[in-house]
Amino acid sequence: MSLPPTHFPEKFLTLAEMMNISEQELERRKQFLQFGPEDEERLRKLAPVAENYAEAMIESFYEHVLSFSELKAFFPDAALLARVKARQKDYFLRLTQGNYDLDYAEQRLKIGAIHERIDLPIKYYLSMYNFYLREVWRYIFEIDPEHPDESMATFFSLMKLTFLDISLAIDTYIDARERTIKALQQEAIQELSTPVLPFREGMLLLPIIGQIDSQRARQLTEHLLVAIRAYRAKVIVIDITGVATVDSRVANHLVQTVDAARLMGAKVVISGISPEIALTMVTLGIDLGPVDTVGDLRTGIEHANRLQGYRVVKIAEPDEDEHRENA
């Protein structure tokens, strides 16, 4: 009794796939770092030793970290600190467990993403590796002081792997930044193309020029609603003088905008309905519903003024001297 599958054959994606880190890409990075099977071997051999020094190293690392006030803030209580230490231990032990495949990369990416999300500056994240490598060198050397070349080789293997980790961590930070920048750019572009103009306290003018498709209508509405909140607007004049055609879809968008504005306590006046548009709307049977509509922008503004209890009165002639100065 199962239903036919829906139309979305997308498989679910790992973080690595989302960030375009494929098997080949991972292989490439290892090649750049000159990290190969011999390195893996050396690291695997290091595992039992790593188990021994992990605790001590984590302890001294966190002593170092907690001596910085700005980092203390990330560990408000003892329970959290204990959990983090435990995870850190797992993280370091993983470095010597071999199998540095896409799964490994996926894990590292996840951890990087978590750190980025909690707003840990990357400088701290990276300096952790610095501390680790320097501490670890002692332990590695002590395994076999008679053969420093072996120790060096092992150390270098470890160093190559930590650089691989670092590259993955940096990727997650960069990725997050790029997404943020793109989002901000989008917002800026939208704001430019749909200007909402405050022309009196509590009153906004939204002149629309050109075609209104669904996407534009949605941008307009969103922008307007945010402006209502920002300017505490009670009356909006939406001027459609510059809108070429008003079909039922456009009318629908307008009605929705009016409804949404109303939910935020603002009233809308639609101005700029030309005789042609009026005729089209009647012919198509379009009803904008209980919305105030007027013929031109000037009337729209006057109407808006009246709604708010304003009346514009001329109290003097234009200043002749002002005009002359400009000549």
Partner 1 sequence: MDVELIVVESDAGVMNARQKGRQLAMTIGISGSDLTLLATAISEIARNIVQYAGQGEIEFRSIVRGGRRGLLIIARDHGPGIPDIAQAMQDGFSTSRGMGLGLPGARRLMDDFEIVSEVGAGTTVSMVKWERS
Partner 2 sequence: MEVPILKQGDFLIASILGALTDTALTRLQENLVHAVRKHRSKGVVIDVTVLDVMDSFAARTLRSITVMTRLLGAKVVIVGIQPEIAFSMVQLGLRLEGTLTGLDLEDGIALLKAADTKDGARNHGR
Length of the chain (residues)? 327
Among 100, 119, 124, 179, binds partner 1 (CB under 8 A): 179
Q: In sequence order, which residues have a C-beta less than 8 Å from that of residue 119 and are 6 or more positions away?
A: none
Is 327 a residue that touches partner 1 (CB under 8 A)?
A: no
How many CA atoms does the CB half-sphere of 245 hold within 13 Å?
5
Instruction: Specify the 3-state DSSP secondary structure of 96.
Output: coil
Is 195 a residue that touches partner 2 (CB under 8 A)?
A: no
Is 113 a residue that touches partner 1 (CB under 8 A)?
A: yes
Instruction: Specify the 3-state DSSP secondary structure of 197.
Output: strand
Cβ–Cβ < 8 Å for 128, 89: no
Binding at 262: pick from partner 1, partner 2, none (beta carbon under 5-8 Å per type) = partner 2
Among 25, 135, 222, 296, binds partner 1 (CB under 8 A): 222
Binding at 228: pick from partner 2, partner 1, none (beta carbon under 5-8 Å per type) = partner 2
Distance CA 304, CA 298 (A): 10
Distance CA 204, CA 213 (A): 22
Q: According to DSSP H, which parts of 234-296 are helical?
A: 248-263, 275-284
Q: Give, as ranges, the residues between 212 and 271 that touch partner 2 (CB under 8 A).
A: 218, 221-222, 225-226, 228-229, 232, 234, 256, 259-266
**Residue 3 DSSP symbol:** P
Binding at 186: pick from partner 2, partner 1, none (beta carbon under 5-8 Å per type) = partner 1
Q: Which stretch binds partner 1 (CB under 8 A): 125-133, 143-151, 180-188, 288-296?
A: 180-188
Minimum CB separation of residue 226 from partner 2 in Å reads 5
What residue ranges bind partner 2 (CB under 8 A)? 218, 221-222, 225-226, 228-229, 232, 234, 256, 259-266
